[in-house]
């Protein structure tokens, strides 16, 4: 079986867009409405020579308002349980939100390699957000544009040690 890479983050950062790009099919539903993807989606992903199972954890978004307790914690833990790596996605245009910090704090307690991904970084609108993401304490973010397919080489470099 392929190693599993879990895509995590608050609603609307572009998790499903990244998932679709990696899996190459329109499996996950992309929408402007936060929380629109109801289920956890899994698909076989390729990134250059890397092959892995990508998991879009969007089903967790319903529970975001309940903080990282209860149902969300259980579902995320289940998704992370056998993951080779997790991608914590932030929106570099929006900058960090309290919910991003919440996710980061909680993920810090999980024993899974974590790669910070700053999405929506096409052009220069995301530059300050990429810098701000440093504050989360996961090192330099991998800047990508899931929508435009930019930064996939850097994402490959970040993932290669784990998959
Ligand atoms: P999710 O809620 O985290 O799964 O986010 P979605 O993948 O559904 O995307 C939310 C919104 O962000 C949609 O309107 C996407 O088109 C948009 N989006 C996703 N990736 C990018 C990107 O790289 N750049 C820009 N500008 N918008 C993006
Ligand atoms: Mg989604």
Structure tokens at 8: 């995590």
ipTM reported for the complex surpasses 0.95: yes
Fold classification of 4-159 (topology level): Rossmann fold (3.40.50)
Q: Which atom of ligand 1 is nearest to the CA of 58?
A: 4
**Digit-coded pLDDT (tens) for 57-87:** 764 554 444 555 566 566 667 778 889 999 9
Q: How far is the C-alpha of 17 from the C-alpha of 149, rounded, in Å?
A: 10
Q: What is the pLDDT of residue 105?
A: 87
Pairing of strands 114-119, 142-143: parallel
pLDDT at 109 over 50: yes
Which ligand approaches the C-alpha of residue 28 most closely?
2
Query: Is the Cα torsion angle 108, 3, 32, 121 positive or negative in sign?
Result: positive
Task: Enter the pTM of the model.
Answer: 0.89
Distance 161 CA to ligand 2 centre (A): 26
Domain ranges of the chain: 4-159
Of 35, 24, 60, 134, nearest in space to 90 by CA: 134
**Digit-coded pLDDT (tens) for 36-48:** 444 567 899 999 9
Distance 89 CA to ligand 2 centre (A): 11
Reduce the DSSP state of residue 98 to 3 states and report it: helix
Q: Which atom of ligand 1 is nearest to the CA of 56?
A: 4
58 is in an annotated binding site: yes
């Amino acid at each position: 079986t392929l190693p599993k890479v879990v895509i995590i983050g608050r609603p609307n950062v572009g998790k499903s867009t990244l998932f679709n790009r990696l899996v190459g099919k329109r499996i996950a539903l992309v929408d402007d409405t936060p929380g629109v993807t109801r289920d956890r989606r899994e698909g076989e992903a390729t990134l250059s020579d890397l092959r892995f199972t990508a998991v879009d954890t969007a089903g967790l978004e319903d529970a975001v308002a309940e903080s990282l307790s209860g149902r969300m914690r259980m579902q995320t833990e289940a998704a992370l349980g056998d993951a080779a790596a997790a991608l914590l996605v932030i929106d570099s245009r929006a900058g960090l939100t309290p919910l991003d910090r919440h996710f980061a704090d909680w993920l810090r307690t999980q024993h899974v390699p974590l790669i910070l991904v700053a999405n929506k970084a096409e052009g220069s609108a995301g530059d300050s957000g990429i810098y701000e993401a440093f504050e989360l304490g996961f090192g330099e973010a991998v800047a990508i544009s899931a929508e435009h397919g930019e930064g996939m080489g850097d994402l490959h470099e970040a993932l290669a040690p784990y998959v």
